[in-house]
Amino acid sequence: MADLALIRRVHVKRREGLGSSVSGVHPVVGRVLSARGAATVPDYSLAKLLPPTLGGLEAACEILEEAIRGDQRIVVVGDFDADGATGTALAVRGLKALGAADVHWRVPDRFRHGYGLGPTLVGELTDLRPDLVLTVDQGVSSHEGVAMAREAGMRVIVTDHHLPGDCLPPADAIVNPNLSGERFGSTALAGVGVVFYLLMALRSHLRERGRFGAGREPRLDQWLDLVALGTVADLVPLDENNRRLVQQGLLRIRAGRCLAGIRALLEVAGRNLRHVDASDMGFAAGPRLNAAGRLEDMGVGIRCLLADSESEAVELAARLDALNRERQSLQADMQEAAEAQAQELAERIEGDLQGLCVFDSEWHQGVVGLVAGRLVERLQRPVIAFAPAESGGSELKGSGRSPSGVHMRDLLVEIDARHPGLIERFGGHARAAGLSLPEARLDAFRQAFDEALSERVFEPDIVHSDGALSAEELSLETATALAEAGPWGQAWPEPLFDGRFRICERRVVGSHHLKLRLEPEGGGPVLDAIAFGAGSLCHRELPDPMGVVYELDINRWQGRVIPQMRIRYLIDSLEG
């Protein structure tokens, strides 16, 4: 039967390179960096930032200079997620600071317009009579919308970071680190990162043409808090250049030099700005922005990021927080129903589930991706969650998520090739994809989905660990050193450690979190530990000593600052 436990049992493999250590830092940090392939301590100073050499920048800057010089109307068209919102706010703020006098913005509605610069959205833009449209975090697949805008007399600059198709839209300029033949040193830029590089290039372009008087050239690093938030929230790989952008943004937030909207988002989530890290951007600020795009209108989030007054930012952040609570409630109800469907299916079959399609006529289209993602965390199998399309009728919108061993978009390509016409539309990438199909075809799709997955061999569920910590290393000093060595995130993973611990105490806190006091099996300090969302395990039989994989965090509570283990997995077997 499939395992739907709140804390997964996993096969643990210790990372290679743990036998060596980068010098000049805390020994545990040195081992962690070495295991990630670093030979020296990374330099996250802005002086080391990759220069703006992206293809398409020169053409984009020529067009933007002409628009600025002629007081032309520029409309920034973003996307309805946190990356799109931060990128839109950055583009609007940056263009105005660089001399653009007539800048507006629009964002597609997830339900009315769908993704990208589509024809419906372009039709609505005509009322604004833009001279120039600048896309943010989208556009490289918007062939029809770009062509329609050009035919209406608008020039179009596309800035995007998503993989292009076989042909490109007929834009006046395209800036995308993932275009074929692109030589820029980082393909991992988020949409907001691409905008930051466009602004860097434009500032240099205008400087060379004498557009700035003495002391009037704007600083762009003042908006690195936006870049940090969008980059972390979009889960792009944190290569060294992205880590540099994120770290510089975090340093500005901690120093109190951040936008009113980002301050308000973090404070409404109960975060202390002095200690903000990348996880706060991903799990506190990001979801509150994304809630607007999922349930209402991402315009609320963009206005929050564009607010200059503290009072306006606080008011909009409170609205985003309320939307996020509504999203959490919806998701909890949907999650419960989805897990019941998964459990029912698991009880009907022999062995483990290969994959799962879930659907409920009461589900919300904007939240199904989160439901699918949570099921993937539990099952480590591909999951597609369907909801009725917001437009009504019999169409279903599906959102798929997959573990690392399955390329979700390629899986849909395979199903579409085998069963032409079964899927109406689909798109996405390795770990996430979306699709549409009539409800009458859902059972046929489930069968095709199961058929495609039945031919795959799933590897054991492996989690990589940074090894064990000694009793002396289970300390606040170690936890602080690890936090300061960040940012950690996608493709530069948060340090995880393994060990066996005796359970001294356990209880439920916050209604559904499991709080423990653990002592190392061989003796040592008794540490606080928490397993979020696992309160139901409190009264179940647990192994004692218990093998766990955990993060070593810092818990700041009511003036106390102590190390805390955050339990991520139970150890099924250990290699290395």
Give the percent of the chain with pLDDT over 90: 78
Contacts of 192 (CB under 8 A, 6+ apart): 83, 86, 87, 90, 136, 137, 226, 227, 229, 230, 231, 234
- List the domains of the chain with CATH numbers: 9-41+462-575 (2.40.50.460), 47-322 (3.90.1640.30), 353-454 (3.10.310.30)
pLDDT of 487 strictly over 50: yes
**Beta partners for residue 516, in sequence order:** 506, 529
For the stretch 320-329, pLDDT in tens is 999 999 999 9
What distance in Å separates the CA atoms of residue 372 and residue 385, rounded to the nearest whole number? Answer: 6
User: Could you tell me which of 107, 116, 125, 243 has the C-alpha nearest to residue 169?
Assistant: 116
pLDDT digits (tens, 9 = 90+) for 434-453: 999 999 999 999 999 999 99
Cα–Cα dist 387/366, whole Å: 9
C-alpha to C-alpha distance for 400 and 372, rounded to whole angstroms = 6
How confident is the model at residue 3, as a pLDDT? 43
Per-residue pLDDT, averaged over 475-492, amounts to 96
Q: Which two structure tokens, joined as six digits, stand for 531?
A: 């397993």
CA–CA gap between residue 567 and residue 516 (Å, rounded): 10
Phi, psi angle pair for 51, to nearest 5°: -70, 160
- Name, in order, each residue with C-beta under 8 angstroms of 353's C-beta and a sequence gap of 6 or more: 2, 342, 345, 346, 379, 381
Q: Which of the four pLDDT bands, split at 50, 70 and 90, describes residue 113?
A: confident
Mean pLDDT of all residues belonging to the chain: 93
Q: What are phi and psi of 435, to 5 degrees?
A: -155, 160
Predicted confidence (pLDDT) per residue in 146-172, tens digit: 999 999 999 999 999 998 988 999 999
Place 351 in a pLDDT band, splitting at 50, 70 and 90.
low
Report the pLDDT averaged over residues 263-277.
96
Query: And the tokens for 567?
Result: 């339990």
The mean per-residue pLDDT over the stretch 504-509 comes to 94
Cis peptide before 487 (omega within 30 of 0): yes
Edge-first strand listing for the sheet containing 395-401: 356-359, 383-388, 395-401, 432-438, 425-428
61 touches 45 (CB < 8 A): no
The mean-pLDDT minimum among 23-32, 341-350, 550-559, 562-571 falls in 341-350
What pLDDT, on the 0 to 100 scale, is given for residue 4? 44
- Check: CB of residue 71 under 8 Å from CB of residue 43: no
Amino acid occupying residue 161: H
In whole angstroms, give the CA distance from residue 78 to residue 52: 21
Torsion sign over Cα 364, 324, 495, 467: negative
**Strands (E) located in 144-272:** 155-159, 173-175
Q: In terms of Cα–Cα distance, which of 197, 148, 198 is closest to 169?
A: 148
Residue carrying structure tokens 């583009």? 91
* pLDDT of 510: 84
Q: Which residue has the tokens 């995130």?
A: 489
The confidence score (pLDDT) of residue 166 equals: 87
pLDDT for 314 beyond 80: yes
Relative to beta strand 527-531, strand 497-509 is unpaired
User: Which pLDDT value is given to residue 378?
Assistant: 83
For residue 151, count CB atoms less than 10 angstroms from its CB and return exposed for 0-12, middle for 13-18, buried for 19 or more.
Answer: exposed
Contacts of 251 (CB under 8 A, 6+ apart): none
CA–centroid distance for 160 within its chain: 16
Average pLDDT of span 353-370: 91
Residue among 343, 432, 447, 427 at smallest CA distance from 385: 432
Query: Which of 63, 359, 329 has its CA nearest to residue 201?
Result: 63
- Distance (Å, rounded) from C-alpha 233 to C-alpha 81? 9
Cβ atoms of 302 and 319 within 8 Å: the answer is no
Three-class SS string for 427-449? EECCCEEEEEEEHHHHHHHHHHH
CA dist 305 and 283 (Å) reads 17
The C-alpha angle with vertex 158 and arms to 157 and 163, in degrees rounded to 5, equals 160
Taking only the tens place, the pLDDT of each residue in 52-100 is: 999 999 999 999 999 999 999 999 999 999 999 999 999 999 999 999 9
Q: Where are the alpha helices (DSSP H) in 388-441?
A: 408-418
- 3-class secondary structure, 417: helix
What b-and-e string marks burial along 377-388, b requiring 16 or more CB atoms within 10 Å of the CB? ebbbbbbbbbbb
Kindly state the DSSP code that residue 235 receives in the 8-state scheme: T
Q: Is the pLDDT of residue 115 over 90?
A: no
Q: Indicate if the pLDDT at residue 32 is higher than 50.
A: yes
Question: CB within 8 A of 69, min separation 6: which ones?
Answer: none
Please give the structure tokens belonging to residue 171: 């834009």
The tokens for 92 are 């609007």
Average pLDDT over residues 272-298: 94
Scan for tokens 């899986």, then name that residue: 411
pLDDT at position 1 over 60? no
- C-alpha closest to that of 64 among 28, 111, 96, 22: 96
Output phi, psi for 337, to 5 deg. Answer: -65, -40
Answer yes or no: is pLDDT of 354 > 80. yes
CA distance 515 to 505: 8
Distance from chain centroid for Cα 566: 21
* Segment 190-224, tens digit of pLDDT: 999 999 999 999 999 999 999 987 778 999 999 99
